[in-house]
Structure 1
């Protein structure tokens, strides 16, 4: 059981060959007026449309200085839309995939002056993009950036059941009993844990492949720590069907048209 090749069930992501063709730009947002207010807010990168609806309902959005609570309100091309005093401007959607190296924190800024992932994609585009989800400082691998609030919400919300694949290097061999216990499921302090697939990838039984859709904090590390292992390396190799094929560590690329269609 422990020597099977790691081929996630029902998942062809590991065989995916990344296309170098960038996704075609969507219709210029400046030509799409009039535009529903919630779409305008989402296109500005502030949040998803559903979250925008809540901001509108709570009277937190103003158009030309007037608070708007009407759900179907249409924004005109020259209207000035603000949230918390900040002017919102819609941008064309951008999708950037990074192979994150170790030593960078997943945040848009850091008061302590530590290196952030934004430094690695600062030259990707002029639009204001942000990371989708998080990878901790020592974790490497795939991290998606976008200004598409709706897609970001879809990929991070638990109901999306987005599958992720990690390669884990442990400090000691994974035992047969622990392998079985992880596959069968177990409890952590914040609830049950179910993995989608698990495989031992080398003869030392210290390199493990794990496929999971749960998005709880540090969940992969906590799975192995629960059984007395220390995770020495953690690399996300697949995220929502995206792979790091032909994407060296520390480099980024735009999503292909095919990848974008698959995500949406």
Structure 2
């Protein structure tokens, strides 16, 4: 026998589902999910590795900063730090050789280098340096990216961005450089082929990426594209085959050119140029 309480329970159930015994309950209704709460800010978010801080201050690259830290040349809040991976807070006082460091705004300057200037920040023999040419470009401490020898002209980049400097000078990134070479005599076709095949040097085999005669010019003028960064490598390649370079001009470095930039003049890089370098 059915109890009265069972009948009442069935009536309530039918009412909840629309009063229709054959109608199935609708579970597709969306319920508001609780919004995820923002996590509390991690105090470590404001910390910066000491080597990065030094690089941002324009002293050197991160790898070189590690060496400075190892030698005990860096102090944080008056304490010598030699620990790799040490992190500093925004209000920490960081000194290198006693000089207070502050992270500077990143600056990127492009120079069309003339002859008779050496690529160094100072010279004990008091010779003219490339720093003399960009003295009015910025108050930030910037440094040349790579080197051009005293007699080589053309594109030279300066920055206080240590990470970018490392990227543009490390062999693994194969940054392309294009040179206009003027020789003391015409380049023989067989020697051009030898250069394409690779010239044996002390460091190994020096291979260029491209080499060709320049259209409309005599055969003592060639264009060379190369990515290896060995010291004076372009000059040494031709000297190995008995040629003397009378003029060597770097017309492109990492896609940057000296277009509309007179010899000895400089300019600040455009934002799109900086982004291009960082995405290489």
TM range (shorter): 0.7 to 0.9
1:52 matches 2:53:
no
Q: Write out per-residue CA displacement over residues 118-166 of structure 1, whole angstroms, 9 at most, x where no aligned residue.
A: 1110000110111111111111000000111111111112222111000
1:256 matches 2:270:
yes
In 2, the alpha carbon distance for the partners of 1:174 and 1:102 equals 24
In 2, the alpha carbon distance for the partners of 1:102 and 1:60 equals 36
CA contact (8 A) 1:56 1:71 kept: no
1:242 matches 2:242:
no
1:177 matches 2:177:
no
1:220 to 215, 219, 234: 234
In 2, the alpha carbon distance for the partners of 1:141 and 1:152 equals 18
**Residue 190 (structure 1) shift:** 2.5
1:110 matches 2:123:
yes
Extract unaligned runs of 5+ from structure 1. Answer: 1-31
CA contact (8 A) 1:37 1:75 kept: no
Q: Tell me what 1:133 maps to.
A: 146
Q: Tell me what 1:25 maps to.
A: none
Alpha-carbon spacing, 1:57–1:189, altered in 2? closer, same or farther (3 Å):
closer
Higher relative contact order (CA 8 A, sep 6+): 1
1:75 matches 2:89:
yes
SS at structure 1 position matched to 2:95: strand
**Residue 67 (structure 1) shift:** 2.2
CA contact (8 A) 2:110 2:266 kept: yes
Query: Which TM-score applies when normalising by structure 2?
Result: 0.78
Instruction: Provide the alpha-carbon RMSD of the alignment.
Output: 1.7
Q: Tell me what 2:170 maps to.
A: 157
In 1, the alpha carbon distance for the partners of 2:190 and 2:62 equals 46
SS at structure 2 position matched to 1:177: helix
Q: Tell me what 1:43 maps to.
A: 56
**Residue 72 (structure 1) shift:** 4.4
1:199 to 188, 191, 212: 212
**Residue 50 (structure 1) shift:** 3.3
Greater Rg over alpha carbons, structure = 2
**Residue 183 (structure 1) shift:** 0.8
**Residue 49 (structure 1) shift:** 2.3
CA contact (8 A) 1:130 1:146 kept: yes
Q: Tell me what 2:114 maps to.
A: 101
In 2, the alpha carbon distance for the partners of 1:203 and 1:36 equals 53
In 2, the alpha carbon distance for the partners of 1:152 and 1:124 equals 18
CA contact (8 A) 2:113 2:155 kept: yes
Q: How many residues align?
A: 232
In 1, the alpha carbon distance for the partners of 2:88 and 2:68 equals 15
SS at structure 2 position matched to 1:208: strand
Extract unaligned runs of 5+ from structure 2. Answer: 1-44
In 2, the alpha carbon distance for the partners of 1:203 and 1:135 equals 25
